A and B are shown apart, each in its own frame.
Chain A
Amino acid sequence: MWNTLSSIFPYAVGYTIPMLVTALGGLYCERSGVTNLGLEGLMLVGYFACAMTVRLLEHTAMNPNALLLFGLVIGVAAGAVFSLLHAFASINLKADQVISGTAINMLAGAITVYLARLISGSGNVRIRMGIIRKNIPFLAKIPIIGPLFFSQTYWTTWIVLGIWALSWLLLYKTSFGLRLRACGEHPSAVASAGVNVHRMRYFGVLMSGALAGLGGAVILITYSGEFNGTVAGLGFLSIAALIFGQWSPLGILGATFFFGIATTIANVSQVIPSLSVVPPVFFKTFPYVITLVALVLFSKKSAAPKASGQPF
């Protein structure tokens, strides 16, 4: 049992990280008062931009890790730029945010593959390098915690966890964070206090684009290694995690990790006999079912930002 656990744990963390950072982006967006259903598309944009960057530069004499980092940055930038479409529609034009988010998903799905076909006929962009998993010196030797958390890790994991911690500080320990969260609860009150609600919401949407772009780029350079035109619902899973985590940083950390473990068990259950008792379909549908259950249970007292989805 212990061996199984410690061998699948690094994979679970690998799945969790892109979801965590994307859900964190969704948190910024929803807390500022804009619903973002386009996370799936924004992830895809980051995924694609990173793949193109690495693919075009991998023949040069650039240091592999520096190149991958550069790819991540481009993925972040591409996601942020693409999310401007959603920001403009939902903040300036007061459009229906659900429709705008859906349009973002469809647009991202179509345009990325359209452009990827210029590189290869099938629309798949394969990169030859990826991050090598490493044990953290000293920490990996700690019993129990060491093998679980500090061995076989990607460096992106630590970047994302750092962003998570900084976001928690920014949102809950600074006056800026208070204002941002207030924009999602009662925008007219914030406006009367002299805060520019539109600017705050732009920040929220741009953060969601940037972080979802990072999530997509992380998928590419950690476990995927190839852009194949889809992130297979990971963006929607992040939205589910955001809801299941009740719109709080600690909540989404727990929820994404929970979903990451479920996904990993479903993926490896054919290989590991002790896990194949439960059919994999159970683990794959579990996150969505549990989110529906959470929505029902918390329906009386939802922690959702009250003004989320309402134009101001």
Chain B
Amino acid sequence: MIKRKIRARSSNAFIVALSAVFLGLLGGAVLMASIGSNPFTGFYYLFRGGLMSIERIGNTLATATTLMLVGLSVAFAFKTGLFNIGASGQMLIGGLCATLVAHKIFLPRPIYLVVLVGSALLGGALWGVIPGFLKAKFNVHEVVATIMMNWIAYWSIYYFVPAYLKGPSLETESASIAVSQSLRAPWLTKLLNGSYLNYGFFIAIAAVIIIRFILDKTTLGFGLKAVGSNRWCAEYAGIKVQRNVIISMMIAGGLAGLAGLSFYTGYSRNMQIGILPSQGFDGIAVALLGASNPLGVLFSSLFFGILQSGKGFMNAMTSVPPEIADSIIAVIIYFTATSVLFSRFWDRVRRRRQDRRAGGEEKE
């Protein structure tokens, strides 16, 4: 009986995620219909835009790369019971450090790539560790602290990029990074017919494996999860809660920094000012939909990657504005937050079915 209960709960997480996706797509359909477009054509072009050719699949994977790393960052903090809403700021600072390295440091390619990755990791980790430290030492809520850090990063970039990294043409973006100094690889670009896919994708896959290993197989991971599931119990068991909170935010920040690396030196190759990257918030959706599990994050980031990279094509083929993808993601987040609604609904469905089965057995 107890065993069945546990199994029922774990299958719930999956069903809840699917229900949220379904309602998100339904919400998108309603929005499309409300402006007089056919939702079926809209979705057809949305998914076709993400998947119809090798180049587009490459672009979808490149979009998913950033989402995967941000999702991993948010999920990792969730495991320690922390809400990292500051992935956007950590992305910006990680991306800024990497962009600086890309413009100023010239080394043989393999060593250069290590330095590039290291700089983004450090930048993001620094931006993550400050809220972690404030949380551990002064009990400052990490949600508020990371939001403040987001906007400090936003305004710092706003004035730093035009002053030190200005491009030749526009005041509002940094100079473009040379391909040889970016994360792009000519063989990869050629293989995928000129898509944006870059080494960031492999970094993201490696990160998924490493984070899964840390969480499942190491003492550090056990301690982090223990703090997340019951802080007082963990403290009583002799786990250093404060230290774990700081480490968790540092690693989460580092992961978001890598997301910035993949986006600013791989995908776009320059930094625009006055934009708080929306991927930082999409990553919350990725983590929630993936139930904070590294493998779940991998799959949900691919799904959101398709939505985000297909929207341009859909906009070109139909009259549906590209913001439909962001609306769908927002609806999905809303419904994962209100997942109680579905668990209640599915529980009722299951109970009714069980009652009926039990009734049938009695008759026999």
Q: Chain A interface (Cβ within 8 Å of chain B)?
A: 37, 85, 88-89, 93-96, 98-100, 102-107, 109-111, 113-114, 117-118, 123, 232-233, 236-237, 239-240, 243, 279-281, 284-285, 288-289, 291-292, 295-296, 299
Q: Residue B147 at the A interface, CB < 8 A? A: yes
Most buried by B among A88, A96, A237: A96
Contact B337 A288 (CB under 8 A): no
Q: For window 178-223 of chain B, which residues contact chain A by CB distance below 8 Å?
A: none
Interface string of B347-359 (1 = CB under 8 A from A): 0000000000000
Q: SS class of chain B's interface: helix, strand, loop or mixed?
A: helix
30 contacts between A and B (CB under 8 A): A37-B143, A37-B147, A88-B338, A98-B83, A98-B85, A99-B333, A100-B334, A102-B85, A102-B333, A103-B330, A103-B334, A105-B281, A107-B327, A107-B330, A107-B334, A109-B330, A110-B326, A110-B327, A114-B323, A232-B274, A239-B147, A243-B144, A279-B159, A284-B158, A284-B159, A285-B151, A292-B134, A295-B134, A296-B134, A299-B138
10 smallest A-B Cβ distances: which pairs? A110-B326, A106-B330, A103-B334, A107-B330, A284-B155, A99-B337, A281-B159, A114-B323, A110-B327, A103-B333
- Judge whether B321 and A93 touch: CB under 8 Å: no
A98-B83, A100-B334 are known contacts; what are 7 more A-B pairs with Cβ within 8 Å?
A: A37-B85, A88-B338, A109-B330, A114-B327, A118-B321, A237-B151, A299-B140
Is B129 located at the chain interface by the 8 A CB criterion?
no
Say which residue of A94, A117, A236 sits within 8 Å of B151 (CB atoms): A236
Chain A residue numbers with a CB within 8 Å of B138 are: 295-296, 299
When chains A and B are docked, how far (Å) is the Cα of A94 from the Cα of B134? 28
- Alpha-carbon gap, A200 to B198, bound state (A): 53
User: Known: A94-B340, A102-B333. Contact between A109 and B326, CB under 8 A?
Assistant: yes
Across the interface, name the chain B residue whose C-beta is closest to A89.
Answer: B338
Shortest beta-carbon distance, B198 to chain A, in Å? 27
- Known contacts A106-B330, A113-B321: does B144 contact A239 (CB below 8 Å)? yes
In the complex, what residue of chain A is closest to B327 when comparing beta carbons? A110
- The residues of B with any CB-CB pair to A shorter than 8 Å are 31, 35, 83, 85, 134, 138-141, 143-145, 147-152, 154-156, 158-160, 274, 276, 278, 281-282, 284, 288, 321, 323-324, 326-327, 329-331, 333-334, 336-341
Given A99-B333, A280-B159, A284-B155, does the pair A292, B321 have CB atoms closer than 8 Å? no
CB distance from B155 to the nearest CB of A (A): 4
CA distance A103 to B282 in the complex (A): 10
Name which residue of chain B comes closest to A113, CB basis.
Answer: B323
Chain B residues, CB < 8 A from A89: 334, 337-338
Instruction: Report the nearest A residue to B329, measured CB to CB.
Output: A106
How far does the Cβ of B51 sit from chain A's closest Cβ, in whole Å? 22
Q: Name the distance in Å between A113's Cβ and chain B's nearest Cβ.
A: 5
What is the CA–CA distance of A109 and B145 in the complex, to the nearest angstrom? Answer: 22
- Flag if B160 contacts A281 (CB, 8 Å): yes
Max chain B Cβ within 10 angstroms of own Cβ: one of A111, A243, A280: A111
Q: Which of these, A106, A232, A285, A292, contacts B156 with CB under 8 Å?
A: A285
Bound-state CA distance A243–B147 (Å) is: 12
Neighbour of A285 across the interface among B134, B147, B155, CB < 8 A: B155
Q: Which residue of the partner chain, among A98, A106, A296, contacts B326 with CB atoms under 8 Å?
A: A106
Residues of A within 8 A of B329 (CB): 106, 110
Taking CB atoms, residues of chain B closer than 8 Å to A107 are: 327, 330-331, 334
Q: In the assembled complex, how far is the CB of residue B125 from the closest CB belonging to chain A, in whole angstroms?
A: 18
B36 — nearest CB in chain A belongs to which residue?
Answer: A118
Q: How far is the CA of A291 from the CA of B321 in the complex (A)?
A: 38
Which among A237, A288, A289 has the greatest number of chain B C-beta atoms within 10 A? A288
User: Closest Cβ of chain B: how far from A200's Cβ, in Å?
Assistant: 21
**Nearest CB in chain B: distance from A74 CB, A:** 19
A281 to B324, CA, bound (A): 34
Task: Tell which of A88, A110, A232, A285 has the most Cβ of chain B within 10 Å.
Answer: A110
Main SS at interface, chain A = helix
By the criterion CB–CB under 8 Å, are B144 and A93 in contact?
A: no
Contacts of A280 in B (CB 8 A): 159
Contact between B340 and A95 (Cβ–Cβ < 8 Å)?
A: yes
Q: Give the shortest distance, in Å, between B161 (CB) and chain A (any CB).
A: 11
CB proximity of B317 to chain A, nearest CB, Å: 16
B-chain residues with CB within 8 Å of residue A114 when the two chains form the complex: 31, 321, 323-324, 327
Given contacts A100-B338, A105-B281, A233-B151, A295 and B330 within 8 Å (CB-CB): no
User: Contact at B338–A299, with CB atoms within 8 Å?
Assistant: no
Most B CB atoms within 10 A — which of A94, A106, A289?
Answer: A106
- Which chain A residue shows the least CB distance to B333? A103
Residues of chain B with a CB closer than 8 A to A88's CB: 338
A103 vs B20: C-alpha distance in the bound complex, in angstroms? 13
Q: How far in angstroms is the closest Cβ of chain B from A285?
A: 5
* Nearest neighbor of B324 in chain A, beta-carbon distance: A114
In the complex, what residue of chain B is closest to A85 when comparing beta carbons? B334
**Complex: chain B residue closest to A104, CB-CB:** B334
Tell me the complex Cα distance, A280–B155, Å.
9
Q: What chain B residues lie within 8 Å of A295 (beta carbons)?
A: 134, 138, 140-141, 144-145
Q: Which residues of B contact A291 (CB under 8 A)?
A: 144, 148
Docked Cα-Cα span, A88 to B335, in Å, equals 12
Q: Which listed residue, A99, A288, A299, touches B148 by the CB 8 Å rule?
A: A288
Q: Which residue of A lies closest to B340 (CB)?
A: A93
With a cutoff of 8 Å between Cβ atoms, the chain A residues found around residue B149 in the complex are: 288
B283 shortest CB reach to chain A, Å:
11
Q: Which residues of A contact B274 (CB under 8 A)?
A: 232
User: By the criterion CB–CB under 8 Å, are A236 and B147 in contact?
Assistant: yes
B143 touches A98 (CB 8 A): yes
- The CA of A190 and the CA of B179, in the complex, are separated in Å by 64
Contact A288 B151 (CB under 8 A): yes
